[in-house]
Amino acid sequence: MKKHILVVPGDGIGAEVTAVGKQVLEVIAQKFGHEFSYDEALIGHVAIEATGSPLPAETLAKMKEADAILFGAVGHPKYDNDPSAKVRPEQGLLQMRKELGLYANLRPIKLFDELLDASSIKPEILRGADILFFRELTGDVYFGKRERIDEGNTAYDTMIYSKYEVERIVRKAFEAARTRSKKLCSVDKANVLESSRLWREVVQSLAPEYPDVTVEHQFVDAMAMLLIKDPKRYDVVVTGNLFGDILTDEASQIAGSMGMLASASVGDSTGVYEPIHGSAHDITGKGVANPLASVLCVALLLDISFGLKAEAQTVIDAVDAILKAGFRTRDIANSTTPADKILGTDAMGEQILQRLNA
């Protein structure tokens, strides 16, 4: 198979982890006889520094041409502490999602058995948990009108959804539920929000088309509690952009660490594969970031964008194997991990590559 992949490292630890992801892609190509070509592009803070724009036209053009995009992270503390900044790294990420029509963000939350002890949640609560989140990604308060009014003394954002936007993501979730345990949980705040009532209406109107799927509705506040109280109760979960942002970060504790979670953003064109961990400037450049989320992004990319299921499984098996062999990055180590098994980003990448080459 011949494919062109764009690597977009972005900010912070993005460069460190996507470097490992790219090496994994290359080994898979060799092993399975595929021909992958690569290019790189800038986004976020590094793009602002180089070009003034968080999503340069050149990057967007390259994205539209690629068969898939391996993404790092965006964000920089400089802007976080300057509420008045007009140009921000995150604008690049949001514009990309919108321009590429990436309305469905899939976040699989599954614990590798070996990491049962890495979480703050009790192992008996976690064992067997396996949740697939569908987070809507191009609507909601992320893209509604926002403004300062009243001489700067008041600010508002608009939480907005149209039926067609809800329908297309909810359909994807229903279809995924069909291939899994036929349970769908939709999360909203319909007891207060009109946009949530529209969301719930759409879910209710589609349910009869999927009679084999059992639908449950939860309010986002209750869900934030239930998710960690009894994660096994959930299988496919679908929710809006903001609630999905919050709940999936929370759910990272179910998988032991944020450093283990990959996501796929798909929709109208090129798929984007992005760890959920973000730019993590506190550990940038220290060589300790967990590259496994980026490696698992590669598995999602191979599976979803290229339909290469065996290749994807090979990557997942390699991750499983090195965890079984006891290797850990700092974020998934615990007090019983022997010091010589705690690896940095590159050494962990090395282990994965060796395993894939074996």
Ligand X SMILES: CC(C)[C@H](C(=O)O)[C@@H](O)C(=O)O
Catalogue the active-site residues. 142, 189, 221, 245, 249
Tell me: is residue 331 an annotated ligand-binding position: no
180 a known binding residue? no
Q: Which amino acid is residue 64, in one-letter code?
A: K
DSSP per position, 165-180? HHHHHHHHHHHHHHHT
Among 26, 40, 67, 90, binds a second copy (CB under 8 A): 90
Indicate which of ligand X, a second copy, none lies near residue 121 (CB less than 5 to 8 Å, by partner kind). Answer: a second copy
Q: How far is CA 156 from CA 82, 140, 141, 159, in A?
A: 18, 13, 10, 10
290 binds a second copy (CB under 8 A): no
| Pairing outcome for strands 104-110 and 35-40 | unpaired
Residue 275: closest CA among 71, 39, 25? 71
257-267: b (≥16 Cβ within 10 Å) or e = bbbbbbbbbbb
Q: Give me the least distance between CB of 101 and a second copy, in Å please.
A: 18
Tokens of 123: 């192992």
Of 345, 349, 353, nearest in space to 13 by CA: 345
Rounded Cα gap, residues 99 and 317, in angstroms: 34
**135 marked as binding residue:** yes
- Cβ closest to a second copy, residue 92 vs residue 291: 92
Tell me: is residue 235 an annotated ligand-binding position: no
Among 46, 115, 170, 198, binds a second copy (CB under 8 A): 198
50 binds ligand X (CB under 6 A): no
Residue 267 engages ligand X in binding (rule: CB under 6 A): no
Sole binder of a second copy in the list 114, 136, 235, 245 (CB under 8 A): 245
Spatial neighbors of 216 by CB under 8 A, at least 6 apart, are 183, 184, 185, 186
Which residues, 291 to 310, sit near ligand X by CB under 6 A? none
Give the tokens for residue 262. Answer: 């990959």
188, 199 in Cβ contact below 8 A?
A: yes
> Minimum Å distance from CB 116 to a second copy?
12
Per-residue binder mask for a second copy (CB under 8 A), 319-358, x = binder: ----------------------------------------
The reply to whether 225 sits near ligand X by the rule CB under 6 A is no
173: nearest Cα among 129, 139, 206: 206
Q: Which residues bind a second copy (CB under 8 A)?
A: 75, 79-81, 83-84, 88, 90, 94, 120-122, 125, 141-142, 144, 146-148, 150, 153-164, 189-195, 197-198, 200-201, 204, 217, 219-222, 224-225, 228-230, 242-243, 245-250, 252-253, 258, 278
Q: Which residues bind ligand X (CB under 6 A)?
A: 74-75, 90, 93, 191-192, 221, 245, 276, 278
